[in-house]
């Protein structure tokens, strides 16, 4: 059964505070059941993160298309981490998630895994929160949920890049919002928590 998006949001918040290891300057955290992998977003105290965010010039990657160069470089190394985690824990597949930069890396990492293995089934789904644009990622066929809270400005950058899927709005539809404050991961958690739960079917 796919992991809930609220669980993904909570893990995407927790990875800013604790993590299992760091790869390519990205903190990585696994859920307790090992089925969700969260990548941390930008840490403003880490120059490496800031420099990666600034490297948004497009770089062509076969079967993916144009991607922000800094995100693509980090995701190449993260792909090996994901595949090793799946093998080491005898899993069939995992969910990739992340907030901001972490969400961008989750998307590109999933696309790279599908391209290199030819097996999209290793990724259950990709769930992102306030992630920047990463390009169309043509090869990626797994379920994607890209959330945007109100006026979160990060989802609009870089403006010349496409997206692999449409944005899913959270929060109030008609609001002036705050471009910067709306980016906080806690907003996404609160909004998902407030959503009505689907009815439980008989037998579940």
pLDDT of residue 44: 46
For residue 201, is pLDDT > 90? Answer: no
For residue 19, is pLDDT > 60? Answer: yes
Asked whether the beta carbons of 96 and 37 are under 8 A apart, the reply is yes
184 within a domain of the structure (yes/no): yes
200 within a domain of the structure (yes/no): no
CA 100: distance to chain centroid?
7
User: What is the rounded CA–CA span in Å between residue 45 and residue 33?
Assistant: 30
199 within a domain of the structure (yes/no): no
202 within a domain of the structure (yes/no): no
- Give the 3-state DSSP-derived string for the chain, with helices as H, strands as E and coil as C: CCCCHHHHHHHHHHCCCCCCEEECCEEEEECCCCCEEEECCCCCCCHHHHHHHHCCCEEEECCCEEEEHHHHHHHHHHHHHHHHHHHHCCCCCEEEEEECHHHHHHHHHHHHHHHHHCCHHHEEEEEEECCCCCCCCCCCCCCEEEEEECCCHHHHCCCCCCCCCCEEEECCCCCCCCCCHHHCHHHHHHHHHHCCCCCCCCCC
43 within a domain of the structure (yes/no): yes
Q: What is the pLDDT of residues 2-17, one digit of tens each?
A: 679 999 999 999 999 9
Q: Which of 46-55, 62-71, 83-92, 183-192 has the lowest mean pLDDT?
A: 46-55
User: What is the rounded CA–CA span in Å between residue 38 and residue 10?
Assistant: 10
pTM score: 0.90
Number of domains in the chain: 1
42 within a domain of the structure (yes/no): yes
For residue 52, is pLDDT > 80? Answer: no
The range of the structural domain enclosing residue 185 comes to 5-194
In the numeric block, the tokens 């972490």 are attached to 102
For residue 204, is pLDDT > 50? Answer: no
Q: What is the pLDDT of residues 110-148, one digit of tens each?
A: 999 999 998 789 999 999 999 999 999 999 999 999 999
204 within a domain of the structure (yes/no): no
Where residue 20 falls among pLDDT bands split at 50, 70, 90?
A: very high
201 within a domain of the structure (yes/no): no
- Looking at residue 164, which CATH number applies to its domain? 3.40.50.1820
């Amino acid at each position: 059964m796919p992991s809930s998006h609220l669980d993904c949001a909570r893990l995407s918040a927790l990875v800013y505070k604790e993590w299992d290891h760091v790869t390519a300057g990205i903190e990585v955290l696994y859920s307790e059941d090992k089925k969700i992998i969260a990548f941390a977003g930008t840490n403003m105290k880490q120059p490496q993160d800031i420099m990666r965010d600034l490297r948004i010039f497009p770089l062509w990657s076969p079967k993916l298309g144009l991607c922000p160069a800094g995100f693509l470089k980090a995701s190449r190394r993260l792909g090996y981490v994901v595949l090793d985690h799946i093998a080491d824990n005898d899993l069939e597949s995992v969910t990739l998630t992340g907030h901001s930069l972490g969400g961008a890396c989750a998307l590109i990492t999933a696309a790279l895994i599908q391209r290199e293995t030819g097996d999209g089934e290793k990724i259950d789904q990709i769930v992102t929160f306030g992630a920047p644009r990463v390009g169309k990622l043509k090869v990626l066929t797994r379920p994607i949920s890209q959330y945007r809270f109100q006026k979160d400005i990060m989802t609009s950058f870089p403006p010349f890049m496409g997206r692999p899927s449409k944005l899913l709005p959270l929060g109030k539809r008609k609001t002036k919002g705050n471009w910067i404050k709306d980016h906080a991961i806690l907003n996404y958690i609160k909004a998902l928590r407030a959503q009505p739960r689907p009815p439980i079917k008989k037998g579940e």
